Structure 1
Amino acid sequence: MSDVNQTLDARGLFCPEPVMLLHNIIRDVAIGDVVEVLATDPSTVRDFTRFCGFLGHELVLSEEVDGDYRFLIRKGEEEEE
């Protein structure tokens, strides 16, 4: 299991808030760091998968237990804006 460098608790928030918050956090962590995201919105499964695909991050883990979603996302080498 990957070590978690930062946790984002987005439980109770709905699209697009969790992705916006993740975007802000991942911008500030080092390449290779892992961000854990906790969420309750089912659309986060799709949103975080696309987020990682578009921006070059690695979706290390995506799991759901009783309506609670947990993601581990490793920051990739994204191009600067």
Structure 2
Amino acid sequence: MTDFTPDAVLDATGLNCPEPVMMLHQYIRDLAPGGLLKVIATDPSTRRDIPKFCGFLDHELVEQQEEAGTYLYWIRKKLD
């Protein structure tokens, strides 16, 4: 298990596309620059959508894991 201590946690368990990414957009907006957000999701499309979101908006996808159908992401908000 990754030993990152997030500044905020977004639990998108049970939500389907596009809801997890829409919520992610709001959570990342409210996070301080450089802050770490942990996202918990069960929608397999997040494996595609969250890395694209991070790449498009220049946030760092620090880590991603899958545990028994649950997808975990640690995203560091860009400094700007």
TM-score by length of 2: 0.93
Other structure's SS at 1:26 match:
helix
Stretch deviating more after TM superposition (30-39 or 69-78): 69-78
Stretches of structure 1 lacking an aligned partner (at least 5 in a row):
none
Q: Which one of 38, 41, 45 corresponds to residue 39 of structure 1? A: 41
Out of 47, 51, 67, the position equivalent to 1:65 is 67
Return the alpha-carbon distance in structure 2 between the equivalents of residues 40 and 6 of structure 1. Answer: 18
User: Could you tell me how far apart the structure 2 residues matched to 1:18 and 1:75 are?
Assistant: 17
Question: How many angstroms does 1:2 deviate by?
Answer: 3.0
Matched, 1:7 2:9: yes
Determine the C-alpha separation between the residues in 2 that align with 1:3 and 1:40.
21
**Structure 2 regions of 5+ residues with no counterpart?**
none
Say which of 48, 51, 54 aligns to 1:52: 54
Taking only aligned residues, the RMSD between alpha carbons, in angstroms, comes to: 1.0
Q: TM-score, normalised by structure 1?
A: 0.91
Total equivalences in the alignment:
78
CA distance in 2 between partners of 1:36 and 1:57 (Å): 13
Report the Cα offset of residue 52 of structure 1.
0.3
- CA deviation profile, 1:35-57 (whole Å, cap 9, x unmatched): 00000000001100000000000
Task: Kindly report structure 1 stretches of 4+ aligned residues shifted beyond 3 Å.
Answer: none
